[in-house]
Amino acid sequence: MINMQKSRVLIIAGSDPSGGAGIQADIKTVTALGCYAAAAITALTAQNTTGVFGVMEVPPAFVKQQVSLVLEDIGADCIKTGMLHNTKIIEALAELLSQYNDIPFILDPVMVATSGDLLIKGESPVNAMQTLLFPLATLVTANIPEAKILSGINITDTKTMIKAGEMILTHGAKNALVKGGHMDGDVVQDILVSSDGSFKIFEHNRINSRNTHGTGCTLASAIACGIAKGGSLKDSIIKARKYVYEAIRTAPGFGKGKGPLNHLVG
Protein backbone atom coordinates (compact mmCIF):
# COMPACT_ATOMS: atom_id res chain seq x y z
CA MET A 1 0.00 0.00 0.00
CA ILE A 2 1.28 3.46 -0.88
CA ASN A 3 2.13 5.69 2.09
CA MET A 4 0.59 8.93 0.89
CA GLN A 5 2.46 10.88 3.56
CA LYS A 6 5.88 9.93 2.23
CA SER A 7 5.85 8.85 -1.38
CA ARG A 8 5.23 11.79 -3.71
CA VAL A 9 7.63 12.12 -6.64
CA LEU A 10 7.37 15.11 -8.97
CA ILE A 11 8.95 14.48 -12.38
CA ILE A 12 9.89 17.35 -14.69
CA ALA A 13 10.90 15.96 -18.09
CA GLY A 14 10.12 15.45 -21.76
CA SER A 15 7.54 13.11 -23.25
CA ASP A 16 8.46 9.94 -25.19
CA PRO A 17 5.51 8.66 -27.26
CA SER A 18 7.12 5.20 -27.54
CA GLY A 19 6.82 4.84 -23.76
CA GLY A 20 10.39 3.71 -23.15
CA ALA A 21 11.94 6.88 -21.77
CA GLY A 22 11.01 10.32 -20.49
CA ILE A 23 7.81 11.06 -18.60
CA GLN A 24 6.22 7.77 -19.62
CA ALA A 25 9.08 5.68 -18.24
CA ASP A 26 9.23 7.87 -15.14
CA ILE A 27 5.56 7.49 -14.30
CA LYS A 28 5.65 3.72 -14.84
CA THR A 29 8.74 3.40 -12.65
CA VAL A 30 7.37 5.52 -9.82
CA THR A 31 4.05 3.69 -9.87
CA ALA A 32 5.64 0.23 -10.01
CA LEU A 33 7.78 1.11 -7.00
CA GLY A 34 4.81 2.13 -4.90
CA CYS A 35 5.02 5.91 -5.05
CA TYR A 36 2.72 8.67 -6.29
CA ALA A 37 3.84 10.21 -9.61
CA ALA A 38 3.13 13.80 -10.59
CA ALA A 39 4.58 15.07 -13.86
CA ALA A 40 5.32 18.37 -15.60
CA ILE A 41 6.22 18.15 -19.28
CA THR A 42 9.11 20.23 -20.67
CA ALA A 43 9.03 19.06 -24.31
CA LEU A 44 7.19 16.80 -26.70
CA THR A 45 9.37 14.49 -28.74
CA ALA A 46 8.71 12.42 -31.84
CA GLN A 47 10.75 9.27 -31.26
CA ASN A 48 10.74 5.51 -31.13
CA THR A 49 13.30 2.81 -30.39
CA THR A 50 15.35 3.77 -33.45
CA GLY A 51 15.89 7.46 -32.70
CA VAL A 52 14.57 10.95 -31.99
CA PHE A 53 13.01 12.61 -35.04
CA GLY A 54 11.56 15.84 -33.66
CA VAL A 55 11.24 18.01 -30.56
CA MET A 56 8.51 20.52 -29.76
CA GLU A 57 9.36 22.80 -26.86
CA VAL A 58 6.92 23.74 -24.12
CA PRO A 59 7.06 27.47 -23.22
CA PRO A 60 9.21 27.99 -20.09
CA ALA A 61 6.50 29.98 -18.29
CA PHE A 62 4.08 27.09 -18.79
CA VAL A 63 6.64 24.56 -17.50
CA LYS A 64 7.11 26.71 -14.42
CA GLN A 65 3.34 27.00 -13.97
CA GLN A 66 2.90 23.22 -14.11
CA VAL A 67 5.55 22.68 -11.44
CA SER A 68 4.39 25.52 -9.22
CA LEU A 69 0.77 24.37 -9.14
CA VAL A 70 1.73 20.81 -8.23
CA LEU A 71 4.08 21.90 -5.44
CA GLU A 72 1.58 24.39 -4.01
CA ASP A 73 -1.20 21.81 -3.92
CA ILE A 74 0.07 18.22 -3.72
CA GLY A 75 3.68 18.84 -2.71
CA ALA A 76 6.57 16.41 -3.24
CA ASP A 77 8.89 14.22 -1.19
CA CYS A 78 11.41 14.17 -4.04
CA ILE A 79 11.77 16.08 -7.30
CA LYS A 80 13.40 14.53 -10.36
CA THR A 81 14.27 16.39 -13.56
CA GLY A 82 15.01 14.85 -16.93
CA MET A 83 15.09 16.52 -20.34
CA LEU A 84 15.44 20.30 -19.96
CA HIS A 85 15.71 21.34 -23.56
CA ASN A 86 16.86 24.96 -23.39
CA THR A 87 18.32 27.68 -21.19
CA LYS A 88 15.02 29.51 -20.61
CA ILE A 89 13.40 26.39 -19.12
CA ILE A 90 16.43 25.85 -16.87
CA GLU A 91 16.32 29.46 -15.69
CA ALA A 92 12.60 29.29 -14.98
CA LEU A 93 12.93 26.06 -13.02
CA ALA A 94 15.95 27.25 -11.05
CA GLU A 95 14.06 30.34 -9.90
CA LEU A 96 11.16 28.21 -8.70
CA LEU A 97 13.04 25.23 -7.23
CA SER A 98 15.31 27.51 -5.19
CA GLN A 99 12.19 28.22 -3.12
CA TYR A 100 11.80 24.50 -2.40
CA ASN A 101 15.38 23.57 -1.52
CA ASP A 102 14.18 21.51 1.44
CA ILE A 103 12.87 18.88 -1.02
CA PRO A 104 15.50 16.35 -2.22
CA PHE A 105 16.26 16.95 -5.91
CA ILE A 106 17.57 14.32 -8.34
CA LEU A 107 18.93 15.92 -11.52
CA ASP A 108 19.29 13.63 -14.52
CA PRO A 109 21.12 15.82 -17.08
CA VAL A 110 19.46 14.28 -20.13
CA MET A 111 21.59 15.37 -23.09
CA VAL A 112 22.02 12.30 -25.27
CA ALA A 113 19.32 9.70 -25.95
CA THR A 114 20.14 5.99 -25.86
CA SER A 115 20.01 6.14 -29.67
CA GLY A 116 22.79 8.75 -29.64
CA ASP A 117 20.56 11.67 -30.63
CA LEU A 118 21.21 15.00 -28.90
CA LEU A 119 18.38 16.25 -26.69
CA ILE A 120 19.86 19.60 -25.69
CA LYS A 121 20.78 22.67 -27.75
CA GLY A 122 24.43 23.71 -27.64
CA GLU A 123 26.60 24.73 -24.70
CA SER A 124 24.40 27.45 -23.20
CA PRO A 125 21.90 25.07 -21.50
CA VAL A 126 24.80 23.01 -20.13
CA ASN A 127 26.35 26.11 -18.56
CA ALA A 128 22.98 27.21 -17.19
CA MET A 129 22.36 23.77 -15.72
CA GLN A 130 25.76 23.76 -14.03
CA THR A 131 25.43 27.28 -12.69
CA LEU A 132 21.76 27.37 -11.68
CA LEU A 133 20.58 23.82 -11.00
CA PHE A 134 23.63 21.88 -9.80
CA PRO A 135 23.83 23.93 -6.55
CA LEU A 136 20.26 22.82 -5.79
CA ALA A 137 20.82 19.13 -6.56
CA THR A 138 21.00 16.36 -3.99
CA LEU A 139 22.28 14.08 -6.75
CA VAL A 140 23.34 14.50 -10.38
CA THR A 141 23.15 11.26 -12.38
CA ALA A 142 25.27 11.29 -15.55
CA ASN A 143 26.16 8.57 -18.04
CA ILE A 144 29.61 8.56 -19.61
CA PRO A 145 28.80 10.86 -22.60
CA GLU A 146 27.02 13.32 -20.29
CA ALA A 147 29.78 13.19 -17.67
CA LYS A 148 32.36 13.98 -20.35
CA ILE A 149 30.38 17.06 -21.38
CA LEU A 150 29.79 18.20 -17.81
CA SER A 151 33.34 17.63 -16.58
CA GLY A 152 35.47 18.14 -19.69
CA ILE A 153 37.31 14.92 -18.80
CA ASN A 154 37.96 12.06 -21.20
CA ILE A 155 36.60 9.10 -19.25
CA THR A 156 38.39 5.81 -19.88
CA ASP A 157 38.43 3.96 -16.55
CA THR A 158 37.37 4.00 -12.89
CA LYS A 159 39.90 6.66 -11.97
CA THR A 160 38.67 9.10 -14.60
CA MET A 161 35.03 8.34 -13.71
CA ILE A 162 35.78 9.45 -10.15
CA LYS A 163 37.64 12.52 -11.41
CA ALA A 164 34.67 13.45 -13.61
CA GLY A 165 32.34 13.09 -10.63
CA GLU A 166 34.57 15.33 -8.56
CA MET A 167 34.55 17.93 -11.32
CA ILE A 168 30.74 17.83 -11.48
CA LEU A 169 30.65 18.52 -7.74
CA THR A 170 32.69 21.72 -8.19
CA HIS A 171 29.50 23.30 -9.53
CA GLY A 172 27.74 22.83 -6.20
CA ALA A 173 25.91 19.50 -6.37
CA LYS A 174 26.03 17.43 -3.17
CA ASN A 175 26.57 14.09 -4.95
CA ALA A 176 27.26 12.78 -8.46
CA LEU A 177 26.54 9.30 -9.80
CA VAL A 178 28.69 8.59 -12.85
CA LYS A 179 27.14 5.65 -14.68
CA GLY A 180 29.43 3.27 -16.53
CA GLY A 181 27.01 1.50 -18.85
CA HIS A 182 28.73 2.99 -21.91
CA MET A 183 32.11 1.55 -20.91
CA ASP A 184 33.33 -1.75 -22.34
CA GLY A 185 33.58 -4.86 -20.19
CA ASP A 186 31.54 -7.63 -18.61
CA VAL A 187 31.03 -5.67 -15.38
CA VAL A 188 29.13 -2.38 -15.22
CA GLN A 189 30.35 0.11 -12.62
CA ASP A 190 28.42 3.13 -11.38
CA ILE A 191 30.35 5.42 -9.03
CA LEU A 192 28.82 7.71 -6.42
CA VAL A 193 31.08 10.66 -5.64
CA SER A 194 30.10 12.81 -2.64
CA SER A 195 30.99 16.32 -1.56
CA ASP A 196 32.56 14.99 1.65
CA GLY A 197 35.35 13.50 -0.48
CA SER A 198 34.12 9.90 -0.35
CA PHE A 199 33.11 7.63 -3.20
CA LYS A 200 31.25 4.34 -3.53
CA ILE A 201 31.49 1.88 -6.43
CA PHE A 202 28.42 -0.16 -7.36
CA GLU A 203 28.89 -3.15 -9.66
CA HIS A 204 26.85 -5.75 -11.50
CA ASN A 205 27.44 -8.13 -14.39
CA ARG A 206 26.51 -6.69 -17.76
CA ILE A 207 23.41 -7.98 -19.50
CA ASN A 208 24.06 -8.27 -23.23
CA SER A 209 20.81 -6.72 -24.40
CA ARG A 210 19.64 -4.17 -26.94
CA ASN A 211 16.74 -3.29 -24.62
CA THR A 212 18.25 -0.27 -22.88
CA HIS A 213 15.99 2.56 -24.04
CA GLY A 214 15.31 4.89 -21.11
CA THR A 215 17.64 3.26 -18.59
CA GLY A 216 18.86 6.64 -17.32
CA CYS A 217 15.36 8.03 -16.83
CA THR A 218 14.29 4.84 -15.13
CA LEU A 219 17.27 4.71 -12.77
CA ALA A 220 16.92 8.34 -11.68
CA SER A 221 13.20 7.92 -11.03
CA ALA A 222 13.80 4.72 -9.09
CA ILE A 223 16.37 6.52 -6.93
CA ALA A 224 13.86 9.33 -6.38
CA CYS A 225 11.36 6.75 -5.12
CA GLY A 226 13.82 5.47 -2.55
CA ILE A 227 14.50 9.00 -1.34
CA ALA A 228 10.79 9.86 -1.26
CA LYS A 229 10.18 6.86 0.99
CA GLY A 230 12.81 8.13 3.41
CA GLY A 231 15.69 5.88 2.37
CA SER A 232 19.33 6.92 2.37
CA LEU A 233 20.97 7.89 -0.90
CA LYS A 234 23.19 4.79 -1.04
CA ASP A 235 20.36 2.39 -0.22
CA SER A 236 18.14 4.12 -2.78
CA ILE A 237 20.82 3.69 -5.46
CA ILE A 238 21.31 0.01 -4.59
CA LYS A 239 17.58 -0.72 -4.83
CA ALA A 240 17.21 1.35 -8.01
CA ARG A 241 20.08 -0.49 -9.73
CA LYS A 242 18.51 -3.85 -8.87
CA TYR A 243 15.20 -2.66 -10.29
CA VAL A 244 16.79 -1.48 -13.55
CA TYR A 245 18.81 -4.70 -13.85
CA GLU A 246 15.66 -6.82 -13.61
CA ALA A 247 13.77 -4.46 -15.92
CA ILE A 248 16.46 -4.97 -18.58
CA ARG A 249 16.69 -8.72 -17.96
CA THR A 250 12.94 -9.19 -18.41
CA ALA A 251 12.46 -6.59 -21.19
CA PRO A 252 9.65 -7.39 -23.65
CA GLY A 253 11.81 -6.97 -26.76
CA PHE A 254 9.61 -4.40 -28.47
CA GLY A 255 10.77 -2.25 -31.38
CA LYS A 256 13.40 -2.39 -34.09
CA GLY A 257 16.12 -0.48 -32.21
CA LYS A 258 16.98 0.04 -28.55
CA GLY A 259 13.96 -1.55 -26.94
CA PRO A 260 12.15 -0.45 -23.75
CA LEU A 261 12.54 -2.00 -20.31
CA ASN A 262 9.98 -4.00 -18.37
CA HIS A 263 8.98 -1.29 -15.91
CA LEU A 264 6.33 -3.49 -14.31
CA VAL A 265 9.00 -5.74 -12.85
CA GLY A 266 8.90 -3.62 -9.70
pLDDT at 123: 61
Please, where are the H alpha helices in the chain?
22-32, 60-73, 87-97, 124-128, 144-151, 158-169, 215-228, 233-249
Domain count, the chain: 1
Q: Which residues are catalytic?
A: 179, 212, 214-217
Q: What are phi and psi of 48, to 5 degrees?
A: -145, -160
Question: Which residue numbers in the chain have pLDDT < 50?
Answer: 1-3
Calculate the CA dihedral of residues 21, 174, 192, 241 and round it to 10 degrees: -40
Q: Which domain holds residue 238?
A: 8-147+213-265
Kindly list the distances between the CA atom of residue 12 and the CA atoms of 74, 80, 107, 180, in Å, as whole numbers in the listed order.
Answer: 15, 6, 10, 24
Residue 37 inside a domain? The answer is yes
Instruction: Give the Cα separation of 241 and 117 in Å (integer).
Output: 24
Cβ contact 211:251 at 8 Å: yes
Q: Which residues lie closer than 8 Å to 67 by C-beta, 6 or more apart?
A: 10, 12, 40, 93, 96, 97
pLDDT digits (tens, 9 = 90+) for 24-68: 999 999 999 999 999 999 999 999 999 999 999 999 999 999 999
Residue 258 inside a domain? The answer is yes
Kindly list the distances between the CA atom of residue 125 and the CA atoms of 89, 110, 227, in Å, as whole numbers in the listed order.
Answer: 9, 11, 27
- Here the CATH number for the domain that contains residue 123 is 3.40.1190.20
Residue 154 inside a domain? The answer is no
Residue 202 inside a domain? The answer is no
